[in-house]
Structure 1
């Protein structure tokens, strides 16, 4: 994106879609953030619109936690754009520039940290979705389940950026840490989605719930 481009969250949906289709940035990391944010919104819909009279306080606590996660997630779309542009600028420096390798390593660190942070927030959103299940009425279970699937897909999508950039980190230890974090996040997300899916299936039509 150019320096004078509008912040991502100020774009209309159609402008965001067309910019993704035609420009180098925003890329998969920013799109993953937006997808996760929308997925979390679907989960929050179920919590906001359910009316269990005896579960108001626990439900409100989950709503508050979800709102906090959304606030933390949203800026990462723009951070992903900035991280990628900084990385490409470092790679594009003159190969004779003595500081080029250090600049690449530093930019790669940010280009790995941003997607890992995004994935961590997605994991937290999936954990919230699992906890929210008992507070969401039957008519909103499909919304929450769809939201969980969006969040899960976003998590796996953003981890592709870790795969792409970890090799440019400055040491074997840093690369190993990044890949270990990446693998743990992916595995835990899969476990959470399975639990959410099983719970949603158990509350399907005719389940008596």
Structure 2
């Protein structure tokens, strides 16, 4: 489990670095949707990392940080990383993929999803807009495991529930007026409440694990 979550975090942070980089290092993802609200703008982005289901960027009108809010398929993460690990091990002379994690990422690795029921991972990351000391600063606000298949597992294949749930959670926070917005957008408990309420609305019961 440690290896799976570690590689997943590494992939996400590489994508964030490309998103926020400067010059030739910058890679602008496809914008799928955009909406302007009194306290912020919300942008739905295409993301090509392992297990990606849906990704939103919240751009506050005040402050120097944005927030990435996303949901990923835990099953796809496990499957894809397992395949990559096997391919690397079969190539002669190729060493196992090692990487360095930030302190926040190392703390994330202490969290372990349940062995069976987790189908999706919901996470929120605070990201500086301007490099500080030459680096974009990232801080994990929170990460949670959910069973988002509900009573109709066939829907999970199209990720309809997860996409609808993260959309509602993002808008629940984004429509708040100041100063409530600035407080809630950086609060892990507020995000957990927003996504739990959205999961209840679509699935009929609390599916937080």
Answer 1 or 2: which has greater strand percent. Answer: 2
TM-score by length of 1: 0.24
Which of the pair has more CA radius of gyration? 1
Larger relative contact order (Cα-Cα within 8 Å, sequence gap ≥ 6): 1
* TM-score normalised by L of structure 2: 0.24
